[in-house]
Structure 1
């Protein structure tokens, strides 16, 4: 018999993340205006829009598409992105701290130093592209899929990850310090590299090959010395 987890589920299973199901309505071009704090943006298409340095703190984006937009140093703390698709966006230092992303797809992004600390992500698909130094400290991720993307030194410190999957995804030097993992599927991460927080892997699923790769890190965490026969 399969061993049962505390909630009665089989310990050999992992609950799959639910992906967003987006059907955008007909969209209106955004035009050449600038973002506004607490602005409301409904059913708009941002195509090639330069949002560099824009201030959209607390803004709401619903049923929107952002395509090939520049987001360098864009200030969007506490913004809400709902039923929205971002394709080919690029930028360094985008501030989405304490933002809410629900039913969002982020495709083929090229981002660096994106601030999502304290954010809430629910039913989010991040597909393709590369994100360097993603800050998700103390954030909450539920039903999030990272697929076919490269994450370099992502910081999940103190975050809660529930039903999160990494599919054909490179996870390099990730920080899981003080993170809580529930039904996190890491089997599709190659490479799977943890800089910190290997002790937080309870609640995650890894493959036998990944276990071998992580053996040196696990041994160091446990204080085990591994020596060849003398």
Structure 2
């Protein structure tokens, strides 16, 4: 059901306040499973094919690192910043990001299914084929970024904002939303899952653009 209101109030996402301490250069040769990283900076490293499954990053910065086929399954990022990371096939399935920022990332086919994101900002950059199926997003802001064919299938989104970003070919099948604000999306194109927008707020212009999808979902045939 589409609900319209002249004054729609949406609970705003709580943004992270990341204040990194003075960081030490990372001296490891690469990632290690279940590695424990506290207050270090990984800068300009090629971590392609590395295995950091289960690793913990607390008060850390990853800057301009290459993450092609890097495994970070079940990794935890807390009070950390990922800036300028790039790669294809990065595996973050089941990972946890809390009070963290992802800035100007260039990623393709990144796996975040089953992940938990809480108080996270994704700012700038472009992410293709982002897999967030069955993920939990709470207090998350996507800002000024391009998400091409993102998959939010069966994900739970609470207090999530999309600001000045493009959603191209998005799949919201089975998603559950509460206080999700899509009104400032610059490009909203759905591939599937218009029913998953229940609990989201869209603009009047977006409603008109999505009218054919809503009509099809309701079984309404529109003819001139």
TM above 0.5, yes or no, is yes
Residues 1:147 and 2:164 aligned together: no
How far apart, in 2, do the equivalents of 1:143 and 1:161 lie?
A: 8
How far apart, in 1, do the equivalents of 2:8 and 2:20 lie?
A: 37
Residues 1:83 and 2:84 aligned together: no
Q: Match for 2:98 among 79, 98, 102? A: 102
Unaligned runs of 5+ in 1: 4-10
Instruction: Find the counterpart in structure 1 of residue 111 from structure 2.
Output: 115
Residues 1:193 and 2:189 aligned together: yes
1:32 deviates by: 4.9
Instruction: Find the counterpart in structure 1 of residue 58 from structure 2.
Output: 62
1:47 deviates by: 0.8
Deviations 1:193-216 (A, max 9, x none): 111110121110000000000011
How far apart, in 2, do the equivalents of 1:83 and 1:33 lie?
A: 23
What is the DSSP-based 3-state SS (H/G/I as helix, E as strand, rest coil) of the residue aligned with 1:186? strand
Deviations 1:79-101 (A, max 9, x none): 00000001110000000000000
Unaligned runs of 5+ in 2: none
Instruction: Find the counterpart in structure 1 of residue 11 from structure 2.
Output: 15
What is the DSSP-based 3-state SS (H/G/I as helix, E as strand, rest coil) of the residue aligned with 1:211? helix
1:31 deviates by: 2.8
Residues 1:226 and 2:205 aligned together: no
1:225 deviates by: 1.2
Instruction: Find the counterpart in structure 2 of residue 7 from structure 1.
Output: none
User: Larger Cα Rg: Structure 1 or Structure 2?
Assistant: 1
Instruction: Find the counterpart in structure 2 of residue 6 from structure 1.
Output: none
**Please, what is the CA RMSD of the aligned residues?**
1.3
